[in-house]
Amino acid sequence: FKPQNMSNNAAVTPGGAEIGRAQALQALACGVAPSVDMNPILLKPESETGAQVILQGQRFTTCKARDYAALKPSLMPAVLDSFARLRAEADLVIVEGAGSPAEVNLRAGDIANMGFAQAARVPVVLAGDIDRGGVIAQMVGTQAVLDAADNALIRGFLINKFRGDPRLFDDGYRLIADRTGWQGLGVIPWFAQAHRLPAEDAADLRRKGGNGVFRIVVPQLDRIANFDDLDPLMAEPGVSVEVIPAGLPLPVEADLILIPGSKSTIADLRHFRAQGWDIDLAAARRRGARVLGLCGGYQMLGSTIADPEGIEGASGVVPGLGLLDVETVMTPEKRVTLTEAVHTASGEAAQGYEIHIGRTEGPDHARPLFRVEGAGEGATSRDGRVMGSYLHGLFCADGFRRAFLRGLGAEAGNGSYADGVEEALDALADHLEAHADCDGLLAIARNGL
């Protein structure tokens, strides 16, 4: 359970609602279906100062950070409602905070950290990231700035992401326990297999994955969304995936340029052009590169994007990249659904999901990339070298991923991506069991406050 999350990497629940990708992964690890109650508030940044607010899986509003600070307290009843439902269904609910509990300047109206813990009356264990440095100051300093009521909720601490021999931190571990009076619950070493699990934060986006011959290049859009579409490709032995940050050119030697999803398509299209990536894309095309756009990337590939109601900013029409003969019109209705698709070229089934606004239509839509319930989905250019689709999560389907890559001339392995994620989750569970005081953690949960 995470009261409030901030991420543009969203997942879709079986009921057609949005939650954070991390909570969906945690549900998978628990062997239960993801639910909106696991993440009742999801903030999806659209600019440096504003975000879309998803409340219990549905779009609620879009507001600036200052306005959200005023709105937050009114959302606590919904957060507590979701928590109560989960608590009634489960034997154990682990609550994850957001950011730092020590930001006392934001304590009034807090619904994500100590404010939630007080309202729900749950005990707290502080987790410190030693890989960032300064973990002793993190722990001792947190106790120093919290008020007495919040400090009274804290029952212990964990140290996470220690590189090397954990025994080297024995003195620091004892110092934290002595200074704070809190129970130490373990030092968790760095987990080397973490890269096999889907990441949620763009700060964790790997710049390169795989060492294969077939070269996939991905421009890192300013508001990149659902970039976990790349994870199954990075796991392929015959593929290398390079994520290109702003300020660097797109390598024109790419075999495939994949334009990912975006939370703000029109703004990211401007960003794309500002980097000169449209010029690089044209050069790569001349050298034989294929192009695939997913969701917002699909919209960018068309001839125009119209936003008559100003949903993404000023109303109007902007030219697209012109590689697909389709046009997109932004509409207020948001499509959020799980989707069963069939790849038109290979007949392979693929399971994906949609999270988008806008409709895309035009002549190239007559050559759909997929069939969904008998209807066409996505588009393919007349020469077959440019493709687009609204579907996320497609590359998790092993049969489709292999057929797609082999159709482009790439070598594709025979491994199961889902099995690889399960193996990494099992290894993580073993890792935590070996290094954390699980009995101590369970005792804290049983005893409550």
Task: Choose the catalytic residue: 365, 392, 396, 435.
Answer: 392
Question: Residues 295, 343, 396, 435: which is the catalytic one?
Answer: 295
Q: Is 30 a catalytic residue?
A: no
Tokens 């209705």, residue located:
333
| 438 in catalytic set | no
Catalytic residues, by residue number, are 295, 392
